[in-house]
Structure 1
Amino acid sequence: MEATMTTPKEKAPSRPVNSLSPVGDWTIKIIFALYSLLCIFPLLLLVMVSFSNEQDVVREGYKFIPMHFDLSAYKFVFEDWHNVLRSYGVSIFVTVVGTVLGLVIMALYAYPISRPDFPQRKFFTFFVFFTMLFNGGLVPWYLVYVRLLHLKDNIWALILPLLVSAFFVLIIRTFFATTIPGAVIESAKIDGAGEMRIFFKIVLPLSMPVLASTALFSTLNYWNDWFLSLVFITKSDGYISVQYLMYKTLTNIQFLMTHTEAMSVIGGAAKFPNETVRMAMAVIGIGPIIFAYPFFQKYFVKGLTVGAVKG
Protein backbone atom coordinates (compact mmCIF):
# COMPACT_ATOMS: atom_id res chain seq x y z
CA MET A 1 0.00 0.00 0.00
CA GLU A 2 1.55 3.18 -1.16
CA ALA A 3 1.74 6.02 1.27
CA THR A 4 0.20 9.15 -0.03
CA MET A 5 2.11 12.36 0.45
CA THR A 6 0.07 15.36 1.45
CA THR A 7 1.36 18.86 1.09
CA PRO A 8 0.12 21.51 3.46
CA LYS A 9 -1.93 24.24 1.91
CA GLU A 10 -0.08 27.47 1.43
CA LYS A 11 -1.40 30.18 3.67
CA ALA A 12 -1.73 33.69 2.49
CA PRO A 13 0.64 36.06 4.28
CA SER A 14 -1.22 37.58 7.17
CA ARG A 15 -0.93 41.23 8.11
CA PRO A 16 0.57 41.98 11.52
CA VAL A 17 -1.97 42.47 14.24
CA ASN A 18 -0.97 46.09 14.96
CA SER A 19 -0.62 47.17 11.33
CA LEU A 20 -3.17 49.42 9.63
CA SER A 21 -5.07 48.79 6.47
CA PRO A 22 -3.97 50.71 3.37
CA VAL A 23 -6.98 53.01 3.74
CA GLY A 24 -6.17 53.75 7.38
CA ASP A 25 -2.51 54.25 6.59
CA TRP A 26 -3.26 56.79 3.86
CA THR A 27 -5.82 58.51 6.07
CA ILE A 28 -3.22 59.09 8.79
CA LYS A 29 -0.71 60.33 6.21
CA ILE A 30 -3.21 62.81 4.78
CA ILE A 31 -4.16 64.07 8.26
CA PHE A 32 -0.53 64.67 9.22
CA ALA A 33 0.20 66.29 5.85
CA LEU A 34 -2.70 68.71 6.33
CA TYR A 35 -1.58 69.41 9.89
CA SER A 36 1.96 70.13 8.67
CA LEU A 37 0.62 72.53 6.05
CA LEU A 38 -1.44 74.33 8.70
CA CYS A 39 1.76 74.82 10.69
CA ILE A 40 3.80 75.98 7.68
CA PHE A 41 1.26 78.39 6.16
CA PRO A 42 1.40 81.00 8.97
CA LEU A 43 5.20 81.03 8.83
CA LEU A 44 5.12 81.35 5.04
CA LEU A 45 2.61 84.21 5.28
CA LEU A 46 4.86 85.89 7.85
CA VAL A 47 7.83 85.79 5.49
CA MET A 48 5.83 86.96 2.47
CA VAL A 49 4.32 89.94 4.28
CA SER A 50 7.78 91.00 5.48
CA PHE A 51 8.83 91.31 1.81
CA SER A 52 5.69 93.22 0.83
CA ASN A 53 5.11 96.93 0.33
CA GLU A 54 3.60 98.71 3.34
CA GLN A 55 0.95 100.51 1.27
CA ASP A 56 -0.12 97.23 -0.35
CA VAL A 57 -0.51 95.58 3.05
CA VAL A 58 -2.57 98.49 4.41
CA ARG A 59 -4.77 98.59 1.30
CA GLU A 60 -5.11 94.90 0.36
CA GLY A 61 -4.28 93.06 3.59
CA TYR A 62 -1.97 90.08 4.03
CA LYS A 63 -1.24 88.01 0.91
CA PHE A 64 0.90 84.95 0.29
CA ILE A 65 2.23 86.49 -2.95
CA PRO A 66 3.40 90.11 -2.56
CA MET A 67 1.98 92.54 -5.08
CA HIS A 68 5.25 94.49 -5.03
CA PHE A 69 8.47 93.00 -3.69
CA ASP A 70 9.89 95.46 -1.15
CA LEU A 71 12.84 95.33 1.26
CA SER A 72 11.95 98.52 3.14
CA ALA A 73 11.11 96.64 6.34
CA TYR A 74 14.51 94.91 6.48
CA LYS A 75 16.31 98.14 5.57
CA PHE A 76 14.54 99.81 8.49
CA VAL A 77 15.45 97.03 10.92
CA PHE A 78 19.09 96.78 9.81
CA GLU A 79 19.60 100.54 9.67
CA ASP A 80 21.43 100.14 12.98
CA TRP A 81 23.00 96.81 12.06
CA HIS A 82 25.74 97.05 14.68
CA ASN A 83 23.21 96.70 17.51
CA VAL A 84 21.43 93.88 15.70
CA LEU A 85 24.64 91.88 15.28
CA ARG A 86 25.68 92.52 18.87
CA SER A 87 22.28 91.38 20.15
CA TYR A 88 22.50 88.29 17.96
CA GLY A 89 25.87 87.47 19.48
CA VAL A 90 24.52 87.93 22.99
CA SER A 91 21.49 85.70 22.31
CA ILE A 92 23.61 82.95 20.73
CA PHE A 93 26.13 83.00 23.58
CA VAL A 94 23.44 83.00 26.28
CA THR A 95 21.47 80.24 24.57
CA VAL A 96 24.43 77.90 24.02
CA VAL A 97 26.13 78.42 27.38
CA GLY A 98 22.90 78.45 29.37
CA THR A 99 21.55 75.31 27.71
CA VAL A 100 24.77 73.31 28.16
CA LEU A 101 25.36 74.38 31.77
CA GLY A 102 21.71 73.95 32.73
CA LEU A 103 21.51 70.50 31.20
CA VAL A 104 24.63 69.30 33.02
CA ILE A 105 23.52 70.73 36.38
CA MET A 106 19.98 69.37 36.12
CA ALA A 107 21.22 65.92 35.09
CA LEU A 108 23.74 65.89 37.95
CA TYR A 109 20.98 66.75 40.41
CA ALA A 110 18.45 64.31 38.93
CA TYR A 111 20.79 61.30 38.90
CA PRO A 112 21.29 60.89 42.69
CA ILE A 113 17.60 61.36 43.53
CA SER A 114 16.74 58.69 40.96
CA ARG A 115 18.89 56.07 42.70
CA PRO A 116 17.02 53.90 45.24
CA ASP A 117 20.22 53.44 47.27
CA PHE A 118 20.58 57.19 47.94
CA PRO A 119 19.33 57.73 51.54
CA GLN A 120 18.33 61.41 51.18
CA ARG A 121 16.64 61.11 47.80
CA LYS A 122 13.14 61.83 49.17
CA PHE A 123 14.29 65.00 50.90
CA PHE A 124 16.07 66.40 47.84
CA THR A 125 13.18 65.41 45.59
CA PHE A 126 10.76 67.31 47.81
CA PHE A 127 13.23 70.20 47.99
CA VAL A 128 13.17 70.71 44.23
CA PHE A 129 9.42 70.02 44.01
CA PHE A 130 8.73 72.65 46.69
CA THR A 131 10.18 75.36 44.43
CA MET A 132 7.48 74.60 41.87
CA LEU A 133 4.74 75.40 44.40
CA PHE A 134 6.09 78.50 46.16
CA ASN A 135 8.42 81.36 45.33
CA GLY A 136 9.54 84.54 47.07
CA GLY A 137 8.02 86.95 44.56
CA LEU A 138 9.44 89.32 41.99
CA VAL A 139 11.03 91.84 44.37
CA PRO A 140 13.05 89.31 46.46
CA TRP A 141 14.00 87.53 43.25
CA TYR A 142 15.35 90.79 41.83
CA LEU A 143 17.19 91.74 45.04
CA VAL A 144 18.92 88.36 45.24
CA TYR A 145 20.41 88.73 41.77
CA VAL A 146 21.23 92.45 42.01
CA ARG A 147 22.20 93.01 45.66
CA LEU A 148 23.50 89.57 46.62
CA LEU A 149 24.96 88.22 43.39
CA HIS A 150 25.73 91.61 41.76
CA LEU A 151 24.54 90.52 38.34
CA LYS A 152 23.15 93.82 37.10
CA ASP A 153 24.43 94.80 33.62
CA ASN A 154 26.19 91.44 33.41
CA ILE A 155 25.96 88.70 30.80
CA TRP A 156 25.41 86.12 33.55
CA ALA A 157 22.21 87.91 34.55
CA LEU A 158 20.72 86.52 31.33
CA ILE A 159 21.89 82.96 32.09
CA LEU A 160 21.55 82.16 35.80
CA PRO A 161 17.81 82.89 36.32
CA LEU A 162 16.87 80.30 33.67
CA LEU A 163 19.67 77.85 34.40
CA VAL A 164 17.71 75.23 36.39
CA SER A 165 14.06 74.30 36.06
CA ALA A 166 12.49 72.12 38.76
CA PHE A 167 10.07 70.68 36.22
CA PHE A 168 12.90 69.53 33.94
CA VAL A 169 14.79 68.07 36.92
CA LEU A 170 11.81 65.89 37.84
CA ILE A 171 11.36 64.78 34.24
CA ILE A 172 15.01 63.73 33.96
CA ARG A 173 14.84 62.06 37.37
CA THR A 174 11.78 60.03 36.31
CA PHE A 175 13.50 58.97 33.09
CA PHE A 176 16.61 57.85 35.00
CA ALA A 177 14.52 55.88 37.50
CA THR A 178 12.27 54.12 34.99
CA THR A 179 14.49 53.64 31.95
CA ILE A 180 18.11 53.14 33.04
CA PRO A 181 18.46 49.44 33.94
CA GLY A 182 19.80 48.83 37.42
CA ALA A 183 21.71 45.80 36.17
CA VAL A 184 23.86 48.02 33.96
CA ILE A 185 24.86 50.20 36.90
CA GLU A 186 25.56 47.19 39.11
CA SER A 187 27.68 45.50 36.46
CA ALA A 188 29.67 48.71 35.97
CA LYS A 189 30.29 48.89 39.71
CA ILE A 190 31.51 45.29 39.73
CA ASP A 191 33.94 46.18 36.93
CA GLY A 192 35.33 48.96 39.11
CA ALA A 193 33.70 52.02 37.57
CA GLY A 194 33.09 55.01 39.84
CA GLU A 195 29.91 57.07 40.10
CA MET A 196 31.12 59.84 37.79
CA ARG A 197 32.28 57.38 35.16
CA ILE A 198 28.96 55.53 35.35
CA PHE A 199 27.11 58.82 34.99
CA PHE A 200 29.03 60.20 32.01
CA LYS A 201 29.83 56.93 30.21
CA ILE A 202 26.63 54.93 30.76
CA VAL A 203 23.74 57.01 32.07
CA LEU A 204 24.03 60.02 29.79
CA PRO A 205 24.41 58.05 26.51
CA LEU A 206 21.33 55.99 27.43
CA SER A 207 19.35 59.16 28.23
CA MET A 208 19.62 61.00 24.93
CA PRO A 209 15.84 61.26 24.33
CA VAL A 210 15.10 63.08 27.59
CA LEU A 211 18.30 65.13 27.41
CA ALA A 212 17.54 66.24 23.85
CA SER A 213 13.97 67.17 24.80
CA THR A 214 15.14 69.15 27.81
CA ALA A 215 17.87 70.86 25.82
CA LEU A 216 15.38 71.85 23.13
CA PHE A 217 12.99 73.47 25.61
CA SER A 218 15.86 75.18 27.41
CA THR A 219 17.10 76.54 24.09
CA LEU A 220 13.67 77.95 23.32
CA ASN A 221 13.42 79.51 26.78
CA TYR A 222 16.76 81.26 26.45
CA TRP A 223 16.28 82.39 22.87
CA ASN A 224 12.76 83.76 23.37
CA ASP A 225 13.54 85.53 26.64
CA TRP A 226 13.40 89.32 26.67
CA PHE A 227 12.29 89.94 30.26
CA LEU A 228 15.73 89.40 31.81
CA SER A 229 17.27 92.03 29.53
CA LEU A 230 14.48 94.43 30.50
CA VAL A 231 15.02 93.87 34.24
CA PHE A 232 18.79 93.51 34.62
CA ILE A 233 20.31 95.46 31.71
CA THR A 234 20.08 99.23 32.12
CA LYS A 235 22.87 100.42 29.82
CA SER A 236 21.86 101.17 26.24
CA ASP A 237 24.99 99.45 24.91
CA GLY A 238 24.78 96.56 27.38
CA TYR A 239 24.16 92.86 26.91
CA ILE A 240 20.65 92.91 25.49
CA SER A 241 19.18 89.96 23.63
CA VAL A 242 17.83 90.16 20.11
CA GLN A 243 14.30 89.57 21.40
CA TYR A 244 14.52 92.58 23.70
CA LEU A 245 15.96 94.66 20.86
CA MET A 246 12.96 93.73 18.73
CA TYR A 247 10.69 94.54 21.66
CA LYS A 248 12.20 98.01 22.01
CA THR A 249 11.85 98.60 18.28
CA LEU A 250 8.17 97.63 18.38
CA THR A 251 7.64 99.94 21.34
CA ASN A 252 9.22 102.83 19.44
CA ILE A 253 7.07 102.10 16.41
CA GLN A 254 3.91 102.09 18.50
CA PHE A 255 4.93 105.39 20.07
CA LEU A 256 5.50 106.98 16.68
CA MET A 257 2.21 105.67 15.29
CA THR A 258 0.19 107.10 18.20
CA HIS A 259 1.78 110.57 18.25
CA THR A 260 0.88 112.83 15.36
CA GLU A 261 3.73 115.23 16.10
CA ALA A 262 6.32 112.50 15.66
CA MET A 263 4.63 111.20 12.51
CA SER A 264 4.64 114.66 10.96
CA VAL A 265 8.41 114.82 11.42
CA ILE A 266 9.05 111.57 9.52
CA GLY A 267 6.55 112.36 6.77
CA GLY A 268 3.34 110.68 7.90
CA ALA A 269 2.20 107.13 8.52
CA ALA A 270 1.95 106.34 4.81
CA LYS A 271 5.74 106.54 4.46
CA PHE A 272 6.48 104.66 7.66
CA PRO A 273 6.65 100.84 7.59
CA ASN A 274 4.59 99.38 10.42
CA GLU A 275 3.03 96.01 9.62
CA THR A 276 5.87 94.86 7.40
CA VAL A 277 8.44 95.80 10.05
CA ARG A 278 6.59 93.68 12.61
CA MET A 279 6.76 90.70 10.28
CA ALA A 280 10.41 91.33 9.43
CA MET A 281 11.36 91.43 13.10
CA ALA A 282 9.47 88.19 13.69
CA VAL A 283 11.42 86.55 10.85
CA ILE A 284 14.71 87.85 12.25
CA GLY A 285 13.81 86.62 15.72
CA ILE A 286 12.77 83.09 14.80
CA GLY A 287 15.23 82.50 11.97
CA PRO A 288 18.23 81.00 13.81
CA ILE A 289 16.17 78.92 16.23
CA ILE A 290 14.62 76.97 13.34
CA PHE A 291 17.99 75.34 12.71
CA ALA A 292 17.99 73.91 16.23
CA TYR A 293 15.16 71.48 15.47
CA PRO A 294 17.02 69.28 12.94
CA PHE A 295 20.03 69.20 15.28
CA PHE A 296 17.99 67.89 18.21
CA GLN A 297 15.94 65.60 15.97
CA LYS A 298 19.11 63.66 15.16
CA TYR A 299 19.65 62.98 18.85
CA PHE A 300 16.01 61.97 19.31
CA VAL A 301 16.41 59.19 16.76
CA LYS A 302 19.87 58.21 18.01
CA GLY A 303 18.74 58.02 21.61
CA LEU A 304 15.80 55.80 20.81
CA THR A 305 18.06 53.20 19.20
CA VAL A 306 20.56 52.84 22.07
CA GLY A 307 20.99 49.24 23.21
CA ALA A 308 19.54 47.72 26.36
CA VAL A 309 20.47 45.00 28.84
CA LYS A 310 21.27 41.65 27.33
CA GLY A 311 19.50 38.68 28.83
Structure 2
Amino acid sequence: MNKKVDFFQFFNTAFIFIFALICTLPIVLVLIVSFTDEQTIMRNGYSFFPDHFSLAAYKSVFASNGQLLQSYVVSIAVTVIGTITAVTITGMAGYTLANRQVRYRNRLGLIFFITMLFNAGLVPWYMMNDLLGIKDNVLALIIPSLLFSPFNLFLVKNFMQELPEALLESARIDGASDAYIAFRIVFPLSMPVLATVALFYGLGYWNNWFNAIMLIDKESLYPLQYLLYKLQSEINMINQMQGIASSNITAPTESFKMAIAIITIGPIVLLYPFLQRFILKGLIVGAGKG
Protein backbone atom coordinates (compact mmCIF):
# COMPACT_ATOMS: atom_id res chain seq x y z
CA MET A 1 0.00 0.00 0.00
CA ASN A 2 2.82 2.36 0.89
CA LYS A 3 4.56 1.58 -2.38
CA LYS A 4 1.41 2.47 -4.32
CA VAL A 5 1.06 5.71 -2.39
CA ASP A 6 4.72 6.56 -2.94
CA PHE A 7 4.44 5.77 -6.66
CA PHE A 8 1.36 7.97 -6.98
CA GLN A 9 3.05 10.82 -5.15
CA PHE A 10 6.14 10.49 -7.35
CA PHE A 11 4.05 10.43 -10.54
CA ASN A 12 1.92 13.35 -9.38
CA THR A 13 4.96 15.43 -8.43
CA ALA A 14 6.71 14.66 -11.73
CA PHE A 15 3.60 15.55 -13.72
CA ILE A 16 3.14 18.87 -11.89
CA PHE A 17 6.83 19.71 -12.33
CA ILE A 18 6.75 19.00 -16.08
CA PHE A 19 3.51 20.93 -16.50
CA ALA A 20 4.92 23.92 -14.56
CA LEU A 21 8.07 23.80 -16.69
CA ILE A 22 6.02 23.83 -19.89
CA CYS A 23 4.05 26.84 -18.60
CA THR A 24 7.28 28.65 -17.68
CA LEU A 25 9.07 28.13 -21.01
CA PRO A 26 7.08 30.80 -22.93
CA ILE A 27 7.95 33.43 -20.32
CA VAL A 28 11.61 32.41 -20.49
CA LEU A 29 11.48 32.66 -24.28
CA VAL A 30 9.96 36.14 -24.09
CA LEU A 31 12.73 37.21 -21.70
CA ILE A 32 15.47 35.82 -23.97
CA VAL A 33 14.00 37.37 -27.12
CA SER A 34 13.81 40.75 -25.40
CA PHE A 35 17.62 40.63 -25.10
CA THR A 36 18.15 39.35 -28.65
CA ASP A 37 19.55 41.41 -31.52
CA GLU A 38 16.81 42.42 -33.98
CA GLN A 39 18.74 41.20 -37.02
CA THR A 40 19.14 37.80 -35.37
CA ILE A 41 15.40 37.59 -34.78
CA MET A 42 14.65 38.53 -38.39
CA ARG A 43 17.14 35.96 -39.63
CA ASN A 44 16.54 33.00 -37.27
CA GLY A 45 13.24 33.76 -35.58
CA TYR A 46 12.64 33.29 -31.87
CA SER A 47 15.19 31.05 -30.18
CA PHE A 48 16.22 30.01 -26.68
CA PHE A 49 19.85 30.19 -27.84
CA PRO A 50 20.25 33.31 -30.03
CA ASP A 51 23.50 34.11 -31.84
CA HIS A 52 23.72 37.71 -30.63
CA PHE A 53 22.33 39.49 -27.59
CA SER A 54 21.43 43.16 -27.50
CA LEU A 55 20.07 45.76 -25.07
CA ALA A 56 18.65 47.91 -27.87
CA ALA A 57 15.03 47.13 -26.96
CA TYR A 58 15.46 48.15 -23.32
CA LYS A 59 17.45 51.22 -24.33
CA SER A 60 14.53 52.25 -26.53
CA VAL A 61 12.10 51.75 -23.65
CA PHE A 62 14.16 53.65 -21.09
CA ALA A 63 15.12 56.46 -23.48
CA SER A 64 12.02 58.45 -22.51
CA ASN A 65 13.84 60.86 -20.16
CA GLY A 66 12.15 59.68 -16.98
CA GLN A 67 8.72 59.34 -18.58
CA LEU A 68 8.75 55.57 -18.05
CA LEU A 69 9.31 55.91 -14.31
CA GLN A 70 6.59 58.56 -14.08
CA SER A 71 4.17 56.32 -16.01
CA TYR A 72 5.02 53.47 -13.63
CA VAL A 73 4.09 55.68 -10.69
CA VAL A 74 0.83 56.72 -12.36
CA SER A 75 -0.12 53.12 -13.15
CA ILE A 76 0.71 51.88 -9.67
CA ALA A 77 -1.23 54.71 -8.00
CA VAL A 78 -4.25 54.24 -10.26
CA THR A 79 -4.19 50.46 -9.79
CA VAL A 80 -3.96 50.63 -6.00
CA ILE A 81 -6.57 53.37 -5.51
CA GLY A 82 -8.94 52.01 -8.14
CA THR A 83 -8.71 48.42 -6.94
CA ILE A 84 -9.31 49.26 -3.27
CA THR A 85 -12.26 51.50 -4.12
CA ALA A 86 -13.79 49.04 -6.59
CA VAL A 87 -13.45 46.11 -4.18
CA THR A 88 -15.07 48.18 -1.41
CA ILE A 89 -18.02 49.13 -3.62
CA THR A 90 -18.41 45.57 -4.89
CA GLY A 91 -18.21 44.18 -1.35
CA MET A 92 -20.88 46.54 -0.05
CA ALA A 93 -23.15 45.85 -3.03
CA GLY A 94 -22.62 42.10 -2.61
CA TYR A 95 -23.44 42.34 1.10
CA THR A 96 -26.65 44.21 0.27
CA LEU A 97 -27.79 41.59 -2.24
CA ALA A 98 -26.85 38.74 0.11
CA ASN A 99 -28.62 40.30 3.11
CA ARG A 100 -31.94 38.50 3.57
CA GLN A 101 -33.37 41.50 5.42
CA VAL A 102 -33.13 43.73 2.34
CA ARG A 103 -36.46 43.91 0.54
CA TYR A 104 -36.53 43.48 -3.24
CA ARG A 105 -32.88 42.43 -3.25
CA ASN A 106 -33.54 39.94 -6.06
CA ARG A 107 -35.12 42.65 -8.20
CA LEU A 108 -32.17 44.90 -7.45
CA GLY A 109 -29.82 42.11 -8.51
CA LEU A 110 -31.75 41.83 -11.79
CA ILE A 111 -30.96 45.48 -12.52
CA PHE A 112 -27.25 44.74 -12.13
CA PHE A 113 -27.60 41.62 -14.27
CA ILE A 114 -29.14 43.60 -17.15
CA THR A 115 -25.88 45.56 -17.50
CA MET A 116 -24.16 42.30 -18.46
CA LEU A 117 -26.45 42.00 -21.49
CA PHE A 118 -26.79 45.58 -22.70
CA ASN A 119 -24.20 48.29 -23.23
CA ALA A 120 -24.97 51.96 -23.84
CA GLY A 121 -22.06 52.31 -26.26
CA LEU A 122 -18.93 54.44 -26.63
CA VAL A 123 -20.55 57.80 -27.39
CA PRO A 124 -22.71 57.98 -24.21
CA TRP A 125 -19.70 56.75 -22.23
CA TYR A 126 -17.53 59.58 -23.55
CA MET A 127 -20.28 62.19 -23.10
CA MET A 128 -20.84 61.12 -19.49
CA ASN A 129 -17.13 61.40 -18.68
CA ASP A 130 -17.01 64.80 -20.36
CA LEU A 131 -20.08 65.90 -18.37
CA LEU A 132 -18.43 64.80 -15.12
CA GLY A 133 -15.38 66.94 -15.97
CA ILE A 134 -12.83 64.18 -15.45
CA LYS A 135 -10.93 64.64 -18.70
CA ASP A 136 -7.17 65.23 -18.49
CA ASN A 137 -6.83 64.41 -14.80
CA VAL A 138 -6.02 61.29 -12.83
CA LEU A 139 -9.71 60.65 -12.12
CA ALA A 140 -10.12 59.85 -15.82
CA LEU A 141 -8.01 56.74 -15.22
CA ILE A 142 -9.98 55.64 -12.14
CA ILE A 143 -13.66 56.57 -12.30
CA PRO A 144 -14.63 55.19 -15.76
CA SER A 145 -13.41 51.73 -14.67
CA LEU A 146 -14.71 52.07 -11.12
CA LEU A 147 -18.19 50.72 -11.78
CA PHE A 148 -17.99 47.16 -10.58
CA SER A 149 -18.30 44.19 -12.88
CA PRO A 150 -21.63 42.34 -12.43
CA PHE A 151 -19.70 39.07 -12.63
CA ASN A 152 -17.55 40.10 -9.68
CA LEU A 153 -20.62 41.35 -7.85
CA PHE A 154 -22.46 38.03 -8.11
CA LEU A 155 -19.28 36.15 -7.22
CA VAL A 156 -19.06 38.14 -3.97
CA LYS A 157 -22.79 37.91 -3.34
CA ASN A 158 -22.84 34.11 -3.71
CA PHE A 159 -19.87 33.77 -1.37
CA MET A 160 -21.49 35.93 1.30
CA GLN A 161 -24.71 33.96 1.08
CA GLU A 162 -22.77 30.88 2.18
CA LEU A 163 -21.83 32.51 5.50
CA PRO A 164 -23.77 31.25 8.54
CA GLU A 165 -26.89 33.34 9.01
CA ALA A 166 -26.86 32.57 12.74
CA LEU A 167 -23.56 34.42 13.09
CA LEU A 168 -24.99 37.57 11.53
CA GLU A 169 -28.24 37.28 13.46
CA SER A 170 -26.40 37.03 16.77
CA ALA A 171 -24.49 40.21 15.89
CA ARG A 172 -27.77 42.01 15.19
CA ILE A 173 -29.21 40.83 18.50
CA ASP A 174 -26.15 42.30 20.25
CA GLY A 175 -26.97 45.65 18.63
CA ALA A 176 -24.43 45.66 15.80
CA SER A 177 -25.24 47.91 12.86
CA ASP A 178 -25.12 46.78 9.23
CA ALA A 179 -21.90 48.75 8.70
CA TYR A 180 -20.27 47.01 11.68
CA ILE A 181 -21.45 43.59 10.51
CA ALA A 182 -20.24 44.23 6.97
CA PHE A 183 -16.76 45.59 7.76
CA ARG A 184 -15.98 43.68 10.97
CA ILE A 185 -17.58 40.30 10.30
CA VAL A 186 -18.62 39.67 6.70
CA PHE A 187 -15.67 41.27 4.89
CA PRO A 188 -12.97 39.49 6.95
CA LEU A 189 -14.74 36.15 6.43
CA SER A 190 -15.09 36.91 2.71
CA MET A 191 -11.39 37.66 2.23
CA PRO A 192 -10.89 34.77 -0.27
CA VAL A 193 -13.47 36.09 -2.73
CA LEU A 194 -12.52 39.73 -2.13
CA ALA A 195 -8.89 38.88 -2.90
CA THR A 196 -10.04 37.12 -6.06
CA VAL A 197 -12.00 40.10 -7.38
CA ALA A 198 -9.18 42.40 -6.25
CA LEU A 199 -6.87 40.54 -8.63
CA PHE A 200 -9.42 40.90 -11.43
CA TYR A 201 -9.80 44.63 -10.80
CA GLY A 202 -6.05 45.08 -10.39
CA LEU A 203 -5.34 43.41 -13.72
CA GLY A 204 -8.01 45.53 -15.37
CA TYR A 205 -6.56 48.79 -14.05
CA TRP A 206 -2.97 47.80 -14.73
CA ASN A 207 -3.62 46.81 -18.35
CA ASN A 208 -6.06 49.64 -19.14
CA TRP A 209 -4.83 51.98 -21.87
CA PHE A 210 -8.22 52.79 -23.44
CA ASN A 211 -9.18 55.41 -20.84
CA ALA A 212 -5.90 57.21 -21.44
CA ILE A 213 -6.22 57.24 -25.21
CA MET A 214 -9.76 58.65 -24.94
CA LEU A 215 -9.50 61.04 -21.99
CA ILE A 216 -5.83 61.97 -21.39
CA ASP A 217 -3.73 64.49 -23.31
CA LYS A 218 -1.11 65.39 -20.68
CA GLU A 219 2.04 63.31 -21.00
CA SER A 220 2.57 63.51 -17.23
CA LEU A 221 -0.61 61.44 -16.76
CA TYR A 222 0.18 58.71 -19.27
CA PRO A 223 -0.13 55.28 -17.64
CA LEU A 224 2.48 52.67 -18.38
CA GLN A 225 0.44 50.72 -20.92
CA TYR A 226 -0.41 53.80 -22.98
CA LEU A 227 3.18 55.06 -22.94
CA LEU A 228 4.49 51.72 -24.18
CA TYR A 229 1.73 51.65 -26.80
CA LYS A 230 2.89 55.04 -28.09
CA LEU A 231 6.53 53.94 -28.11
CA GLN A 232 5.59 50.81 -30.05
CA SER A 233 3.69 52.90 -32.59
CA GLU A 234 6.66 55.24 -32.99
CA ILE A 235 9.06 52.34 -33.59
CA ASN A 236 6.71 50.81 -36.17
CA MET A 237 6.54 54.18 -37.94
CA ILE A 238 10.35 54.43 -37.92
CA ASN A 239 10.63 50.97 -39.47
CA GLN A 240 8.12 51.88 -42.17
CA MET A 241 10.04 55.05 -42.99
CA GLN A 242 13.31 53.15 -43.07
CA GLY A 243 11.73 50.57 -45.34
CA ILE A 244 10.75 53.30 -47.78
CA ALA A 245 14.27 54.74 -47.62
CA SER A 246 15.82 51.25 -48.04
CA SER A 247 17.87 51.69 -44.90
CA ASN A 248 19.97 48.82 -43.56
CA ILE A 249 19.29 49.83 -39.95
CA THR A 250 16.35 48.09 -38.29
CA ALA A 251 14.67 49.39 -35.16
CA PRO A 252 14.13 46.70 -32.48
CA THR A 253 10.49 45.95 -33.25
CA GLU A 254 10.18 42.31 -32.19
CA SER A 255 12.55 42.51 -29.25
CA PHE A 256 10.83 45.74 -28.21
CA LYS A 257 7.50 43.89 -28.00
CA MET A 258 9.06 41.27 -25.77
CA ALA A 259 10.71 43.92 -23.59
CA ILE A 260 7.32 45.61 -23.16
CA ALA A 261 5.82 42.29 -22.09
CA ILE A 262 8.54 41.75 -19.47
CA ILE A 263 8.21 45.27 -18.09
CA THR A 264 4.41 45.16 -17.85
CA ILE A 265 3.96 41.70 -16.35
CA GLY A 266 6.62 42.24 -13.66
CA PRO A 267 4.39 43.73 -10.93
CA ILE A 268 1.59 41.23 -11.63
CA VAL A 269 3.95 38.28 -11.40
CA LEU A 270 5.21 39.59 -8.05
CA LEU A 271 1.67 40.24 -6.76
CA TYR A 272 0.07 36.94 -7.72
CA PRO A 273 1.92 34.69 -5.23
CA PHE A 274 0.54 36.76 -2.34
CA LEU A 275 -3.06 36.28 -3.56
CA GLN A 276 -3.06 32.79 -5.05
CA ARG A 277 -3.96 31.04 -1.79
CA PHE A 278 -7.21 33.03 -1.71
CA ILE A 279 -8.11 32.81 -5.38
CA LEU A 280 -9.00 29.12 -5.75
CA LYS A 281 -11.13 29.08 -2.62
CA GLY A 282 -12.85 32.30 -3.61
CA LEU A 283 -13.71 31.02 -7.08
CA ILE A 284 -14.97 27.63 -5.86
CA VAL A 285 -17.13 28.93 -3.03
CA GLY A 286 -18.24 32.09 -4.82
CA ALA A 287 -19.36 30.11 -7.84
CA GLY A 288 -21.54 27.88 -5.69
CA LYS A 289 -25.30 28.04 -5.62
CA GLY A 290 -26.64 31.14 -3.81
TM-score (norm. length: structure 1): 0.84
TM-superposed CA distance for 1:28, in Å, is: 3.2
Q: Which of 149, 154, 163 is the matching residue for 1:180?
A: 163
| Aligned residue in 2 for 1:196 | 179
Deviation digits for residues 31-77 of structure 1 (CA, Å, limit 9, x no counterpart): 32222112211111111111122222222222223433321211111
- Looking at structure 2, the residues matched to 245 and 219 of structure 1 have their Cα atoms a distance apart, in angstroms, of 19
- Structure 1 stretch 270-279 or stretch 95-104: which is displaced more? 270-279
C-alpha distance in 2 between matches for 1:168 and 1:303:
11
Q: Alpha-carbon deviation of 1:261?
A: 7.0
CA contact (8 A) 2:239 2:250 kept: no
**Pair 1:210-2:172 in alignment:** no
Q: Give distance in 2, aligned partners of 1:270 and 1:23.
A: 57
Whether the 8 Å CA contact 1:256–1:263 is kept in 2: the answer is no
Q: 2:221 aligns with which of 233, 239, 243?
A: 239
How far apart, CA to CA, are the structure 2 residues paired with 1:43 and 1:261? 31
Aligned partner (choices 70, 73, 79) of residue 57 of structure 2: 73
- Residue equivalent to 1:286: 265
| Structure of larger gyration radius | 1
* Partners of 2:150 and 2:179 in 1: CA distance: 22
After TM superposition, what 4+ stretches of structure 1 lie above 4 angstroms from structure 2?
261-264, 298-304
Task: Work out which of the residue numbers 132, 137, 150 in structure 1 matches 2:133.
Answer: 150
Instruction: Provide structure 2 residue ranges, at least 5 long, that are not aligned to the other structure.
Output: 284-290
Structure 1 residue 269, shift from structure 2 partner? 4.8
Q: SS at 1:132's partner residue?
A: coil
- Work out the CA distance in 1 between the residues paired with 2:282 and 2:256: 41
Change (3 A) 1:60 1:301: closer
Return the match for 2:29 from 40, 45, 48: 45
RMSD: 2.3
| One-letter code aligned to 2:262 | V
How many Å apart are 1:263 and its aligned residue? 5.5
Tell me by how many angstroms 1:224 deviates.
Answer: 0.8
Q: How many residues align?
A: 281
Which of 60-69 and 203-212 deviates more?
60-69
Q: CA deviation at 1:129?
A: 0.8
Q: Partners of 1:269 and 1:158 in 2: how far apart?
A: 41
Q: Which residues of structure 1 form unaligned runs of 5+?
A: 1-13, 305-311
Residue 195 (structure 1) shift: 1.2
TM-score (norm 2): 0.89
Between 1 and 2, higher relative CO (CA 8 Å, sep ≥ 6) is seen in 2
